[in-house]
Structure 1
Amino acid sequence: MVGLGFGAEFIPIYQKHPNANLIAVCQRNEAKLNELADAFDIEKRYTSYDDLLKDPNIDAVHINTPIPDHGIQSIKALKAGKHVACTVPMATSVEECEQIVKLTQETGLTYMMMETVVYAREFLFMKELYENGELGKVQFLKASHQQDMDGWPNYWPGLPPMHYATHCVGPVLALTKGEAEYVSCFGSGLSGKN
């Protein structure tokens, strides 16, 4: 587990999963690292992502770091021979996305973009209705995502909307197992920046 802000929420899930062994956590802030690792009884602790990637006992990493780091950290992990799960978005440039795809094709490693909204109770309820035929034929879907940003890291206000589009695009596509032909994003204009 890399990044223990939002990432800490996944620790108990991995610890309870019968097919996963959470063996290490990584956080730049050593005090926070030790506090969470002690609370969840995790022995291996890293303040350096590069050192974690050198550990031969680690097969996969789950990246929960700030958005600007997702692409480069995913690329580093794939180059180090690790499978990758990464919170959204995958990266912030087309070039990084292309490099991640290329590395998975070359190495056979798995990359998974971890869009959590498709596991939310609201989505699962709609999915059940759809799969049971209770919604009828879906002809048009539209989605939006509003999020209270109070208390979030300071890079969030003013974040380009396309960098975080998956919370509204993901469920719409997942419901019907569709693919997007076009996605456009419009910010609220409430970024607090001029």
Structure 2
Amino acid sequence: MTRKRVRLAIVGGNRGTSFLNALHALSDRIDLTATCDLDDLVLNRWKQIFPGIRTYHDYSHMLQDSSIDAVFVISPMHLHARHSIEALNAGKHVLSEVIAVQSLEEAGELVETVERTGLKYMMSENYCFSRSNLMINHMASQGLFGEITHVEGGYIHDLRHLIHYPDGSLTWRGQLHKNYNGVNYPTHSIGPVAQWIGINRPEGDKLKSISAQVSKSRALQSYFNEQYGKDHPAADEGFWSQGDSAVATLKTEQGVLITLRVDWTSVRPHNKTHYMLQGTKGAYLSGRHPQEDDLIWLKDGSPLNREDGSEMWETLSRYQDEYDHPKWKKWGHLAAGTKHGGGDFLVLEEFISSIQEDRRPLIDVYDAVTWSSVFFLSMESVKAGGMPMTVPDFKAKNGIVK
């Protein structure tokens, strides 16, 4: 089948360079047309790699370019919703980095804009597309875990070096920690597990409520004291609103318990991909670090301990040949060479395919705003001492559920 090439532009060129391998791997289907960034050094780097690319400082000016079919929004997080809405209103399909929105108002406006324009919108939640998360999703869809009762997601990743610029001023991540207090980066945690239990899917489940608690804030105060001295404002007690660790518990309408943890400032080795699934016929535990295997147990398949007959964990890799997700079977040879466990390639491939095949992307606008709502709902819950907050049904309009 001959597919029309997608002419893609990127806003947020500095972060966009992490997708270079994915862009090259999809060069037979994508024309990288333009990029927008405030930094000339960033734009010049893109020019060196793609000599024919058009570069812009002004986003609204770039959106007037009629040769652009789609925009990849990789700007700072607080701009994602606005940049996405503006691109959609300019007639461009949108792939947006996480999170999609930071408020209920942004969520409503984004959903309305996608529905009104009829254009493709996808959130680039690359953790949903790692090999293991895809595989668990595929196995869950076939009922191998039985009825799922509890899932966990955790993003625990020391990113203190991204909180500030060399002069000690705060990046957008630093501003996020200074001004908010809750589960401030939720979609890496909730995205994969929401797919495993069919949130927002036909005949699937819906999020019902969320309750959140946050620890004291210590990591960044200590870090800035070490890096810049005790006289730096960020080394003062009370400067940071965000606690070091944030934990949320969510319930679904069908009674599934979801536990989330986000911590990207505490001092510890790498542990950014923590997931767990518990069902009536099986369970899954992700490896906590690169040297540890993903583990699985299936009631009807896993062997018993020969010595005492007890249940035993197995490595997930044992089941790859049989249960790898179709997407990994098709694209894994290309995805494996890109970041985030192949997720950077697969989110871009899925977005391009949704345009070329004129279908709903695997992470649509309703998924994007539902998962992102953990951000602002957790903030409300923390302020209310951990009281549960109702999760809106973003598919409901005038009493009709789509």
**TM-score, normalized by the shorter chain, greater than 0.5:** yes
Shift of 1:22: 1.6
Secondary structure at 1:13's aligned position in 2?
A: helix
Aligned equivalent of 2:122, options 112, 119, 125? 112
TM-score w.r.t. structure 2 length?
0.44
Shift of 1:29: 0.1
Could you tell me whether the CA contact under 8 Å between 2:43 and 2:55 is conserved in 1? Answer: yes
Is residue 180 from structure 1 mapped to residue 197 from structure 2 by the alignment? no
Tell me: higher relative CO, structure 1 or 2? Use CA pairs within 8 A at least 6 residues apart.
Answer: 2
Aligned equivalent of 1:12, options 21, 24, 48? 21
Could you tell me whether the CA contact under 8 Å between 1:71 and 1:91 is conserved in 2? Answer: yes
| Equivalence for 1:33 | 43
Secondary structure at 2:220's aligned position in 1?
A: coil
Distance (whole Å) between structure 2 residues aligned to residue 188 and residue 62 of structure 1: 35
Structure 2 counterpart of 1:175, one-letter code:
W
Structure 2 counterpart of 1:57, one-letter code:
S
Could you tell me whether the CA contact under 8 Å between 1:165 and 1:185 is conserved in 2? Answer: no
Could you tell me whether the CA contact under 8 Å between 1:74 and 1:86 is conserved in 2? Answer: yes
Higher strand share: 2
Q: Report percent identity of matched pairs.
A: 28
CA change 1:184–1:84 in 2 (3 A) is: farther
- Compare CA radii of gyration and give the structure with the larger one: 2
| Equivalence for 1:192 | 220
TM-score w.r.t. structure 1 length?
0.86
Structure 1 counterpart of 2:220, one-letter code:
G
Higher helix share: 1
Shift of 1:148: 1.3
Shift of 1:185: 4.3
Could you tell me whether the CA contact under 8 Å between 1:162 and 1:184 is conserved in 2? Answer: no
Secondary structure at 1:92's aligned position in 2?
A: coil
Q: How does 1:117-136 map to 2 (within 5 A)?
A: 117-131=127-141, 134-136=144-146
Structure 2 counterpart of 1:165, one-letter code:
P
Structure 2: runs of 5+ lacking an equivalent: 1-9, 164-170, 200-205, 222-237, 239-402
- The CA RMSD measured in Å over matched residues stands at 2.3
| Equivalence for 1:24 | 34
Shift of 1:103: 0.9
Secondary structure at 2:30's aligned position in 1?
A: coil
Could you tell me whether the CA contact under 8 Å between 1:25 and 1:42 is conserved in 2? Answer: no
Is residue 156 from structure 1 mapped to residue 173 from structure 2 by the alignment? yes
Shift of 1:156: 2.0
Could you tell me whether the CA contact under 8 Å between 2:14 and 2:42 is conserved in 1? Answer: no
